[in-house]
């Protein structure tokens, strides 16, 4: 009887240990084993709505030529996916809607090379979405009424020679801000140095009726190329990344500037030797991260601090995009090599490296509760527990 009890006790301990190991594996697996959602076209950007119920992805639909050969860059679409909670990144199998940014995509057209949808902004109430291609189409989508409130397809852009860029929404979601960028007339010196001036006007538009209630002409007085804008959470400060060499040069010198949205006054600015295509801002607007070009670095700026911090990428990978977690504790970045890097936002010490894709990753974001990390690559979105 005593031996039998001893055997039973050992078996019980083994069973309990096995269950504990299994629970630990199940708990930790989302940190290392992602949930993968396959999408039909190349992804170039993604963003969560503030309420966490929608995931927006920006893609690129390549149009073939009449002879069947590849037509190069196609039109960019905005896809809105319904989520079932942020845990493990569970999203619906099919998009809720696919608002169409470009021209008719069942016909090849040489000027249809609008490029991918690379810029997405949600309103604070999660109802409206602004999206744009790099140099062409732009629109504001109403997710409730499922229609474009404002839409500038490629044909209008070509006729007006204007490019629109999303900025953001007011805190009550009643106003939207976007930039209209036009080529200016170069001086003789600029022409000799292949420099092109740009005029950037900030448009303030009322959502309810589409009326333009404000326009700040020539907002960027230095007339350089604005790479990207972000309206900070106070709805008063505009962060802008500029490239002195224009849109065709990916590694030109530039500035990261903080401007007053009402009068264009410069609040703070930091010079950058090599400007890439993106930057991110923390939820409180106190911290910013830019990619460091093709040199395996990310540069982090703090308000009130003149000298930025340089974060070296462990494997020397080139960073394409970055994102701050909404709770302000983490910075994530994805690279051209397909890896994902996560740092502590305060100490900038590395927290983990995720070997996510065998090809380049083009978008990274956190869920609103900071529990899920979503990363976009060519034909899929992967979700890890943050």
Predicted confidence pLDDT, tens digits, the chain (386 residues): 444 444 466 666 666 666 665 555 444 444 445 667 777 677 888 899 999 888 888 877 655 555 555 445 555 677 788 775 433 334 444 444 445 444 333 333 333 345 677 788 999 999 999 888 766 678 888 888 888 888 776 555 554 567 888 899 999 999 999 988 887 776 676 666 656 778 888 999 999 888 999 888 888 877 777 888 999 988 899 999 888 766 655 567 888 999 999 888 899 999 988 776 789 999 999 999 987 555 678 899 999 998 999 888 877 777 888 999 999 999 998 877 778 889 999 999 988 887 766 677 788 999 999 988 888 887 788 888 87
3-state secondary structure 113-124: CCCCCCEEEECC
| pLDDT of 192 | 62
What kind of architecture, by CATH, is found in domain 38-385?
7 Propeller (2.130)
CB 292 within 8 A of CB 319: yes
| Pairing between β-strand 54-60 and β-strand 42-48 as defined by DSSP bridges | antiparallel
Closest CA to 100 of 65, 54, 133: 133
In Å, how far are 3, 7, 17, 19, 369 from 10, measured between CA atoms?
11, 5, 11, 14, 42
248 three-state secondary structure = coil
Distance CA 140, CA 135 (A): 16
How many residues are recorded in the chain? Answer: 386
CB 284 within 8 A of CB 233: yes
| pLDDT of 89 | 38
* H-only helix segments in 136-183: 154-160
Tokens 């990261």 identify what position? 256
Distance CA 375, CA 323 (A): 10
Cα 179 to chain center, whole Å? 17
Dig out the tokens for 105 from the structure: 């995509």
Residue 148 φ/ψ, nearest 5 degrees: -80, 120
pTM strictly above 0.85: no
């Amino acid at each position: 009887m005593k031996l039998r009890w001893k055997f039973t006790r050992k078996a019980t301990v083994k069973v309990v240990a096995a269950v504990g190991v299994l629970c630990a594996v199940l708990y930790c697996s989302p940190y290392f084993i992602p949930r993968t959602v396959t999408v039909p076209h190349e992804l170039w950007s993604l963003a969560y709505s503030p309420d966490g119920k929608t995931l927006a992805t920006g893609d690129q639909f390549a149009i073939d030529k009449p002879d069947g050969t590849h037509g190069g860059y196609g039109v960019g679409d905005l896809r809105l996916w319904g989520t079932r909670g942020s845990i493990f990144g569970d999203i619906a199998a099919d998009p809720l809607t696919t608002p169409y940014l470009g021209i008719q995509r069942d016909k090849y057209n040489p000027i249809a090379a609008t490029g991918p949808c690379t810029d997405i902004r949600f309103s604070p109430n999660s109802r409206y979405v602004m999206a744009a291609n790099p140099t062409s189409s732009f629109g504001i989508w109403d997710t409730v009424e499922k229609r474009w409130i404002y839409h500038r397809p490629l044909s209008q852009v070509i006729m007006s020679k204007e490019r629109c860029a999303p900025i953001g929404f007011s805190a009550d979601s009643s106003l939207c801000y976007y930039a209209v960028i036009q080529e200016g007339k170069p001086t003789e010196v600029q022409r000799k140095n292949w420099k092109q001036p740009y005029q950037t006007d900030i448009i303030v538009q009322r959502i309810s009726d589409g009326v333009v209630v404000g326009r700040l002409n020539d907002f960027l007085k230095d007339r350089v190329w604005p790479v990207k804008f972000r309206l900070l959470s106070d709805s008063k400060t505009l962060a802008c990344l500029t490239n002195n060499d224009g849109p065709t040069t990916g590694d030109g010198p530039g500035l990261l500037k903080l401007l007053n949205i009402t009068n264009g006054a410069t609040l703070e600015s930091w010079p950058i030797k090599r400007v890439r295509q993106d930057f991110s801002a923390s939820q409180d607007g106190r911290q910013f991260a830019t990619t460091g070009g093709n040199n395996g670095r990310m540069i982090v700026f703090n308000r009130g601090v003149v000298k930025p911090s340089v974060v070296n990428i462990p494997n020397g990978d080139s960073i394409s995009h970055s994102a701050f977690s909404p709770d302000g504790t983490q910075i994530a970045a994805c690279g051209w090599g397909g890896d994902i890097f996560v740092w502590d936002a305060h100490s900038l010490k590395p927290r983990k490296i995720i070997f996510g894709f065998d090809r380049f990753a083009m978008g990274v974001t956190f869920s609103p509760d900071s529990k899920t990390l979503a990363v976009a690559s060519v034909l899929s979105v992967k979700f890890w527990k943050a």
